[in-house]
Structure 1
Amino acid sequence: MMKLKKMTLNMNGADRTFICDPEKDTLASVIRRLGLTGTKVGCGTGVCGACSVILNGKVIRSCTKKIKTVEEYSQLTTIEGIGTPNQPHPLQAAWVNCGGVQCGFCTPGFIVSAYGLLKENPAPAREEVRDWFQKHRNVCRCTGYKQLVDAVMLAAEVMRGEKTIEEIWYKPDDQTKEYYGKPVVRPSALGKACGTVDYGDDVELKMPPGTLHVALVQPRKVSHGAIISIDCTEAEKMPGVVKVITSKDVKGTNHMDLFTASPLSTNMKAPHHILAEDRIRMYGDVAAMVAAVTKEQAKAAAEKVKVEIEPLPEYVNYLDAAMPDAIRIHEESPNIYAKWPLVKGDEDVETLIDEGEYAVSGSFYSTREPHLSIEGDTVQAYFDEDDVLTIHCKSQSIYWNKSDVAQSIGLPPERVRMVMNPAGGSFGWSITAASFALAGIAAMATEMPIALSMSYEEFMHFSGKRSAAYSNARLACDENGKITAAEFDIGIDHGAYAEMGDDLANKVIRFVLFPYSVPNARVLSRVAFTNHGFGTAYRGYGSPQAYTAGEAVIDMLAEKIGMDPFEIRWRNIARKGDKNLAGSDFVDYPMEEMMKRLKPLYEKAVAEARAEDTPQKRRGVGLAWGGYNVTDNPFDQCTVAIELNPDNTFTKYDTWQDLGQGGDIGSLMVTAEALKPLGVTLDQIRLIQNDSAVCPNSGSSASSRSHYMNGKATIIAAEKLIKAMRKEDGTYRTYEEMTAEGIPTKYVGQHENATVPGLVPTDPITGQGNPSIDYTYALYMAEVEVDTETGKTTILKFTCIDDVGVIGNIHAVEGQAYGGISHSMGFALSEDYLDVRKHNNPFSCGVPYIKDIPDDIQLIHMGTRRKNGPFGSSGASEAFQSSGHMAVINAISNACGVRIYELPAKPEKVKAGLEAIAAGKKVEPPKKYYLGPDMYDEIQKIRDTGKF
Structure 2
Amino acid sequence: MKPRKMWLNINGADRMLICDPEKDSLALVLRRIGLTSVKVGCDTGVCGSCSVILNGKLIRSCTKKVRTIEEYSKITTLEGIGTPDNLHPLQVAWMNHGAVQCGFCSPGFIVSSYALLLQNDNPTRQEVRDWFQKHRNVCRCTGYKQLVDAVMAAAKVVRGEATIEDITYKVPEDNECYGKPLVRPAALAKVTGLADYGEDMALKMPRETLHVAVVQPRVAHHAKILNIDTAEAAKMPGVVKIITHEEIKANGGTNQMAEANLHERSTVTLPSRKILCDDKIFRYGDVVALAVANTLDQARAAAAKVKVDFEPLPEYLNFLDAVMPDAIRVHDDTPNLFCVQPVLKGDALEDAEKVPEILDNSACSVEGSFYSTREPHLSIEGCTVQAYFDEDDSLTFQCKSQGLYTSISRIGVSLGVPREKLRIVDNFNGASFGWSTNAGDLCLAGAAAVAVNGPVALSLTYEEHQHFSGKRCPSFSNGRVACDEEGKITGAEFDVGLDHGAYSWGGDHVMEKPVRFSFFPYKVPHVAGLCRVANTNHTFGTAYRSYGSPQAYTMSEALMDMLAEKMNIDPFEFRWKNIARPGDTNINSHVFKDYPMEEMMEKLRPHYDNAVARAKAEDTPEKRRGVGIAWGGFNVTEGGTDQATIVLELDADNMILKYDTWQDLGQGGDVGSLMVTLEALKPMGVTPDRVRLCQNDTKICPDSGMSAASRSHYMNGHATKLAAEKLMAAMRKEDGTYRTYEEMKQEGIETRYEETYTCMTDTSITRLDPNTGIGDPTPAFTYVLNMAEVEVDTATGKTTVLRFVCVYDVGKIGNIDAVNGQAYGGISHSIGFALSEDYSDVKKHTNIARSGVPYIKDIPDEIILIPCENPREDGPFGSSGASEAFQSSGHVAVINAIYNACGVRIFDLPAKPEKIKAGLETLAAGKKIKPPKKYFLGSDLYDELENIKANPVKFRGHDMFESLGESDGSKFY
Counterparts in 2 of 1:895-914, with a 5 A limit? 895-914=901-920
Counterparts in 2 of 1:459-608, with a 5 A limit? 459-608=465-614
CA contact (8 A) 1:98 1:147 kept: yes
What is the distance in 2 between the residues matched to 1:326 and 1:593? 50
Q: Which position in structure 1 is the counterpart of 2:130?
A: 131
Cα deviation code 1:49-92 (max 9, x no counterpart): 00000000000000000110011100000010000111110000
What is the distance in 1 between the residues matched to 2:271 and 2:369? 30
Counterparts in 2 of 1:54-203, with a 5 A limit? 54-173=53-172, 175-203=173-201
What is the distance in 2 between the residues matched to 1:837 and 1:827? 20
Match among 740, 743, 754 for residue 737 of structure 1: 743
Range with bigger deviation, 212-221 or 343-352: 343-352
What is the distance in 2 between the residues matched to 1:644 and 1:713? 17
CA contact (8 A) 2:257 2:412 kept: no
Cα deviation code 1:467-522 (max 9, x no counterpart): 00000111111111111111110110111011100101111211111111111111
Task: Confirm or deny that 1:918 pairs with 2:924.
Answer: yes
Task: Confirm or deny that 1:33 pairs with 2:32.
Answer: yes
1:601 CA drift (Å): 1.2
What is the distance in 2 between the residues matched to 1:289 and 1:24? 23
The amino acid of 1:335's aligned partner reads: N
The amino acid of 1:236's aligned partner reads: A
Task: Confirm or deny that 1:617 pairs with 2:623.
Answer: yes
Q: Which position in structure 1 is the counterpart of 2:332?
A: 331
Identity of aligned residues (%): 64
CA contact (8 A) 1:606 1:620 kept: yes
What is the distance in 1 between the residues matched to 2:343 and 2:918? 36
1:356 CA drift (Å): 2.0
Q: Which position in structure 1 is the counterpart of 2:42?
A: 43
What is the distance in 2 between the residues matched to 1:633 and 1:232? 47
What is the distance in 2 between the residues matched to 1:181 and 1:191? 23
What is the distance in 2 between the residues matched to 1:877 and 1:324? 40
What is the distance in 2 between the residues matched to 1:530 and 1:416? 32
Cα deviation code 1:120-153 (max 9, x no counterpart): 1111000000000000000000000000001111
Q: Which position in structure 1 is the counterpart of 2:935?
A: 929
Cα deviation code 1:535-556 (max 9, x no counterpart): 0000000010000000000000
The amino acid of 2:345's aligned partner reads: K
The amino acid of 1:759's aligned partner reads: I
CA contact (8 A) 1:795 1:888 kept: yes
What is the distance in 2 between the residues matched to 1:104 and 1:266? 42
1:762 CA drift (Å): 1.1
What is the distance in 2 between the residues matched to 1:823 and 1:547? 15
Q: TM-score, normalised by structure 2?
A: 0.97
The amino acid of 1:154's aligned partner reads: A
Q: Which position in structure 1 is the counterpart of 2:298?
A: 297
Q: Which position in structure 2 is the counterpart of 1:369?
A: 375
CA RMSD of aligned residues (A): 0.9
1:167 CA drift (Å): 1.5
What is the distance in 1 between the residues matched to 2:296 and 2:557? 49
What is the distance in 1 between the residues matched to 2:670 and 2:296? 33
What is the distance in 2 between the residues matched to 1:253 and 1:887? 47
Q: Which position in structure 2 is the counterpart of 1:228?
A: 226
What is the distance in 2 between the residues matched to 1:761 and 1:407? 29
What is the distance in 2 between the residues matched to 1:134 and 1:600? 32
CA contact (8 A) 2:258 2:271 kept: no
What is the distance in 1 between the residues matched to 2:269 and 2:145? 44
What is the distance in 1 between the residues matched to 2:413 and 2:857? 46
What is the distance in 2 between the residues matched to 1:636 and 1:657? 16
1:390 CA drift (Å): 0.5
CA contact (8 A) 2:648 2:724 kept: yes
What is the distance in 2 between the residues matched to 1:268 and 1:435? 24
What is the distance in 1 between the residues matched to 2:948 and 2:403? 33
Cα deviation code 1:238-282 (max 9, x no counterpart): 111111001111132222211113110123425211111111010
Q: Which position in structure 1 is the counterpart of 2:875?
A: 869
The residue matched to 2:511 in structure 1 has which SS? Answer: helix
What is the distance in 2 between the residues matched to 1:947 and 1:216? 43
What is the distance in 2 between the residues matched to 1:484 and 1:408? 51
What is the distance in 2 between the residues matched to 1:211 and 1:635? 40
The residue matched to 1:24 in structure 2 has which SS? Answer: coil
Q: Which position in structure 1 is the counterpart of 2:681?
A: 675
1:728 CA drift (Å): 2.2
Task: Confirm or deny that 1:767 pairs with 2:773.
Answer: yes
CA contact (8 A) 1:405 1:440 kept: no
CA contact (8 A) 1:270 1:332 kept: no
Counterparts in 2 of 1:233-272, with a 5 A limit? 233-250=231-248, 251-272=252-273
Which sections of structure 1, spanning at least 5 residues, go unmatched?
none
What is the distance in 2 between the residues matched to 1:275 and 1:494? 20
CA contact (8 A) 2:259 2:271 kept: no
Q: Which position in structure 2 is the counterpart of 1:351?
A: 357
What is the distance in 2 between the residues matched to 1:330 and 1:729? 68
The amino acid of 2:341's aligned partner reads: W
The residue matched to 1:942 in structure 2 has which SS? Answer: helix
What is the distance in 2 between the residues matched to 1:379 and 1:266? 33
Match among 652, 655, 674 for residue 649 of structure 1: 655
Task: Confirm or deny that 1:341 pairs with 2:342.
Answer: yes
Which sections of structure 2, spanning at least 5 residues, go unmatched?
349-353, 955-973
Counterparts in 2 of 1:828-839, with a 5 A limit? 828-839=834-845
What is the distance in 1 between the residues matched to 2:269 and 2:164? 57
The residue matched to 2:714 in structure 1 has which SS? Answer: helix
Change (3 A) 1:730 1:947: closer
CA contact (8 A) 1:265 1:338 kept: yes
Q: Which position in structure 2 is the counterpart of 1:429?
A: 435
What is the distance in 1 between the residues matched to 2:279 and 2:582? 55
The residue matched to 2:929 in structure 1 has which SS? Answer: coil
The residue matched to 1:41 in structure 2 has which SS? Answer: coil
The residue matched to 2:479 in structure 1 has which SS? Answer: strand
CA contact (8 A) 2:839 2:845 kept: yes
What is the distance in 1 between the residues matched to 2:593 and 2:369? 32
What is the distance in 1 between the residues matched to 2:275 and 2:580? 45
Q: Which position in structure 1 is the counterpart of 2:462?
A: 456
What is the distance in 1 between the residues matched to 2:307 and 2:23? 25
The residue matched to 1:541 in structure 2 has which SS? Answer: coil
Task: Confirm or deny that 1:402 pairs with 2:400.
Answer: no
CA contact (8 A) 2:224 2:310 kept: yes
CA contact (8 A) 1:620 1:785 kept: yes
CA contact (8 A) 1:270 1:333 kept: no
Q: Which position in structure 1 is the counterpart of 2:315?
A: 314
CA contact (8 A) 2:257 2:271 kept: no
What is the distance in 1 between the residues matched to 2:452 and 2:506? 32
The amino acid of 1:723's aligned partner reads: A
CA contact (8 A) 2:256 2:271 kept: no
What is the distance in 1 between the residues matched to 2:169 and 2:111? 23
Cα deviation code 1:612-636 (max 9, x no counterpart): 1111111100000000001111121
CA contact (8 A) 1:717 1:748 kept: yes
What is the distance in 1 between the residues matched to 2:54 and 2:198? 26
1:673 CA drift (Å): 0.7
What is the distance in 1 between the residues matched to 2:591 and 2:740? 46
